[in-house]
Amino acid sequence: MSVPGVLSFTQQGWEQVLVKAKRALVYLDAACAESLHWGCGSSRLLEAVGGPACHVREFERDAVGGGAEQPKALFVLSGLLKGRTVEILRDIICRSHFQYCVVVSAVSHAVHLTANHVPAAAAAELEGQQPVFEQLEEKLCEWMGNLNYTAEVLYVPLLLAPAATHIALTPAFATLFPLLPQDVHLLNNARPDKRRLGSLGEVDATVLPPELLLQIRCLVSGLSSLCEHLGVREECFAVGPFSRVIAADLANYAPAKTRRKTAPGRASLVFVDRTLDLTGAVGHHGDNLVEKIISVLPQLPGHTNDVMVNMVDLTALHAEEENHSVVAPGCLAQSNDTSAKALWEALLNTRHKEAAMEVQRHLVEAASRENLPIKMSMGRVTPGQLTSYIQLFKNNIKALVNHCGLLQLGLATVQTLKHPQTAKWDNFLAFERLLLQSIGESSMAIVFNQLLPMIKPSTQRTNDDYNPEELLILLIYIYSVTGEFTVDKDLGEAEEKVKKALAQAFCEESKLSPLLQKITGCDSAINLTFPKSKIAVDELFASLRDIAGARNLMKQFKSVYVPGTHTHQASYKPLLKQVVEEIFNPEKPDPVDIEHMSSGLTDLLKTGFSMFMKVIVLSTRLLRPLNIPELLFATDRLHPDLGF
């Protein structure tokens, strides 16, 4: 994948939006805000709007409307212009004084036709026309109160949030996740008069609910626009049943078929079901600083893959906790700071020790350029040492402004190194290594018996003990790395003990975290009884069993566990690494688990990996333990420290 092409795809899209932003009151939804955050930065939008006041608001039902002095509005939305989205649009406009409204949708008009049940043949006849957008333009004028006012509705593919040179996220699809085996039962119940599905291997687009199909089509539309920007004719491959549905939809997407006829280049897209390997997503083997930063620092509100960096140390405020919310937080995304971007790339692609040294080097060089009185020290990089360098910028406004992005990454590093959760990282790693050795030597019942005393209620826990969310991380690791296992009497009893202990621990929490609220269905610890907790835990373990059996349909990629030998310990081998090795290994026959999705008779005549040109791997990957998954794009520059 051409790196400038991916970045320019996002930036070019935002340039089309920013042209419409001058003197406008701008409403953004969370996914588009995240794309802007990583691609251009909010400052670019504020510059485009102009004026001394901040005219950017979140798109929500209770958003404040525009006053008489704000006649122009720009709405930038990631989803379909349908249903609740249109209702919120109407409500905001009706309580405002707009005379000019521009609505930008990140979903193409072709998908809007599908959402409005326009048959494919009829949609083909509408090429060059946009009746859905035109009807909405009429409605916008009606809501503004004058049909002579101006309204525009246009499509801009704001699909990606380019987090780094080789990683792009799709925040609008944070909730799109592969199906689990238990979902087959739900699909069968939804179509009682049709042939019953036996497994996920039989799932195709015809059996999925319309809402899920629309979400897939929205993703496919965005990917097609990306391929158009890159000028490539893509070949679609899939690893896993859900990826097969997405890859097939892109391969047969009518606008994509038309586009491919004139595309000058070629590329191969490989879609991978992330449920096939959740081990790396929740594991702690990676000796990477960014992984730790994202895991331990609090999440930036409204974002799926950025964190809040406490900036109080660069102010005159005392570092007490009550002052933390006084100063706006920093973050990892530094799209307009060349030096900070270079450091961010280095942090992603180096080991923990080298990354800390890289932070130190950038801070020292920045301080030297500003003629700050820096004192070099030898030896290991420590949080206190980095803090002393950062403090040099505190009373120098010019230096602070010049290196603000770099200082945010420096503070993120310091706060991560000092965070108590970082110390617990080694405990996770020790348990995971012990588990890897135990898989080949002991039964799963013994593993559960080792886990049981680690489950403690809040009244008995110390800072070194695992809280419920951390226990869930360990459980996901256990089931994902082990794969499907036979349940005997000993295992059944050991698993039941773990389930009861976990249910009791949930009940004794003084306050339920958002995750526990979602799992238990209770918004307060007072309402959580043991029977409710036990039911929730039983459902949780059913999902864990599904995760363990996710690779059952694979013939080649059945395991991510590498048994130990006399010379090497047992280890974890990421599925994505296995997939990439198979693609680039000329000596092996065609992998049976990487399916080519045909888009017509010509493709059916093709065989083998001669079709692979420039490879793009797409996978639902958790970038933060127990967080919503994002889509990760990775090219052939795969680094072992990032779990590949």
| Cα radius of gyration (the chain) | 26
8 Å CB contact between 153 and 136: yes
* The three-state (H, E, C) secondary structure of 267-310, written as one string: EEEEEECHHHCCHHHHCCCCCCHHHHHHHHCCECCCCCCCECEC
Q: In the prediction, which pLDDT does 471 show?
A: 93
Mean pLDDT of 159-186: 91
* Pair type for strands 25-28 and 56-58: parallel
Mean pLDDT of 341-347: 94
pLDDT in tens, 518-575: 999 999 989 999 999 999 999 999 999 999 999 999 999 999 999 888 788 889 999 9
CB atoms within 10 A of CB 578: 20
Token representation of residue 380? 């290991």
Cα distance from N-terminal residue to C-terminal residue, the chain: 17
- DSSP secondary structure, 206-224, as one string: GGS-HHHHHHHHHHHHHHH
Cα dihedral sign for 51, 57, 61, 64?
A: negative
8 Å CB contact between 161 and 33: no
Confidence band for 643, pLDDT divided at 50, 70 and 90: very low
Percent of the chain scoring above 70 in pLDDT: 91
8 Å CB contact between 260 and 267: no
Question: Given a cut of 50, is residue 27 above it in pLDDT?
Answer: yes
Strand partners of residue 270: 237, 617
Question: Residue 298 has what DSSP assignment?
Answer: P
CB atoms within 10 A of CB 564: 14
| Per-state percent for the chain, helix, strand, coil, to nearest 5 | 50, 10, 40
pLDDT in tens, 43-98: 899 999 987 666 899 999 999 999 889 999 999 999 999 999 999 999 999 999 99
Amino acid at 604: L
8 Å CB contact between 399 and 407: no
Q: In the prediction, which pLDDT does 601 show?
A: 45
Confidence band for 434, pLDDT divided at 50, 70 and 90: confident
* The three-state (H, E, C) secondary structure of 22-57, written as one string: CCCEEEECHHHHHHHHHHCCHHHHHHHHCCCCCCEE
Nearest by Cα to 499 from 541, 459, 468? 541
CB within 8 Å of 83: residues ≥ 6 apart: none
Distance CA 606, CA 614 (A): 17
Q: Over the range 588-626, which residues count as b (16 or more CB within 10 Å of their CB) and which as e?
A: eeebebbbbbbbeeeeeeeeebeebebbbbbbbbbbbbe
Confidence band for 614, pLDDT divided at 50, 70 and 90: low
Mean pLDDT of 27-53: 90
Distance CA 105, CA 82 (A): 11
Is residue 306 classed exposed, middle or buried when 0-12, 13-18 and 19+ CB atoms within 10 A define those classes?
buried
Nearest by Cα to 305 from 297, 315, 314? 297
8 Å CB contact between 84 and 69: no
Question: Given a cut of 60, is residue 613 above it in pLDDT?
Answer: no
Residue predicted with more confidence, 619 or 333 = 333
